[in-house]
Amino acid sequence: MATVRASIHGQWSTRLAFILAATGSAVGLGNIWKFPYIAGENGGGAFVLVYLGCIAIIGIPIMMSEVMLGRRGRQSPINTMHTLASEENVSPHWKWLGWAGVVSGFLILSYYSVIAGWALAYVFRTGSGLITGQTADGIQSIFSDLVSDPERLLAWHTIFMVMTMTVVARGVRSGLERAVRLLMPALFVLLIVLVGYAWNTGSFDQGVDFLFTPDFSKIDADGVLTAMGHAFFTLSLGMGAIMVYGSYLPDNVSIAKTSIAVSAMDTLVALLAGMAIFPIVFANGLEPGAGPGLIFQTLPIAFGHMDYGAFFGMLFFILLVFAAWTSAISLIEPAVAWLVENRGMNRVFASAVAGLATWLFGLLTVFSFNIWADVKLLSGIKVFQDSTIFDLLDYLTANIMLPLGGLLIAVFAVWQMSRNSSVDELSMGDGFFYKIWRFLVKYITPVAVFIVFLNAVGIIDLNG
């Protein structure tokens, strides 16, 4: 039995608070921006079915593992991994897994904040009627004017970072928990309103059929790997956020039940987003596989030509901001927790330091869309030949750091941590469900994540 520990940062008041917080971390731009367009690119229903299977065999087992490690250590990811490695008598180098999570969160937030700034800007652009009646070229011009202006991008990036650090500075209960208790219900209400709006487009059935009717001829090996990768990334795994949130979880809360609840709510948001977006796309004769531009360049065309489009377009981008905000506070929390624990800072000062550092690093992304657009740091490497600084950061975190982080979490949870420790912390006995979790994390999940990693870095190509 491990020494009973308590987090110096406090803990969630209830199981629901943790579910809302972890769901808020998981629900972000990936659910509302990325999921619809990758589902569109990979044929809709077949992709969704594969994605749901991957959530079950990859997402939930790794989430349980990460929450378990967090609650066992009750500290920032760095100190948690150092403590648990010592407790299990394994290499002290496992602390670098904690460092990797903290650095991943820092790097992701540095560019995530800039993209979230786009959503903030579009709240006002849609609400003011700027997109109303615009052609595709007009919408493209609005988007290009935004990203090509470093001063505008810097302003929106700054506003979003101030919003994020204001919440984090207030602590676990007064800041993180209070924010998610307000933002997550609001997010679900906005989504349901937008689904209701999509219901009246005349193409709701077509959108739902596209999303839920599987046609396996439309998905190939790359589509399966994309589904596997997104199932992993959408739950905020491997970046320290779920680990630090787990460190605030009360001892009497079931890790398995809460992980399943968080995964279910995260998936529900992604599916509702698809149900809101695809009917609007089809009603306007647009392309569901429009790629990353679906949200900022394709949908505004639709909103600009629909009744009450300015109002509902504004609601959509408010929804996007809320989703990004709840994720952002979790991305920076591991770094803030470490500064409080290891540098003797109070919560407010630690938040200011971490926020300022992230904001400064975010300037690389801001300028990569305009004055540094021609800067290609690793152009000599084929995979990075045309990559901007933003592209490099996105690739490094999403394709390398996060899968390796998730893989190592799985390895530590079952290959390094004793069976008695995991049985004790998961509090589900040593029966059937524990054995299923252990089998998946020990054999299936690591292999699946490793294949996703190899495909992402171009080492394998299952489509030949």
Domains of the chain (ranges, CATH numbers): 15-456 (1.10.4160)
C-alpha distances (whole Å) from 66 to each of 167, 324, 405, 416, 451 are 24, 22, 10, 14, 20
User: Which residue did the predictor score with more confidence, 243 or 41?
Assistant: 243
What per-residue confidence (pLDDT) applies to 215?
85
Residues in the chain: 464
Query: CB-based contacts of 339: which residues, under 8 Å, 6+ apart?
Result: 345, 350, 353, 354
The answer, yes or no, to whether residue 1 has pLDDT greater than 50, is no
What per-residue confidence (pLDDT) applies to 298?
83
- Residue range 108-146, pLDDT digits in tens: 999 999 999 999 999 999 999 999 999 989 999 999 999
* Mean pLDDT, rounded, for 217-238: 85
Cβ atoms of 85 and 91 closer than 8 Å = yes
Measure the CA–CA gap between 130 and 117, rounded to whole angstroms.
Answer: 17
Cβ atoms of 25 and 105 closer than 8 Å = no
Measure the CA–CA gap between 169 and 351, rounded to whole angstroms.
Answer: 5
pTM of the model: 0.93
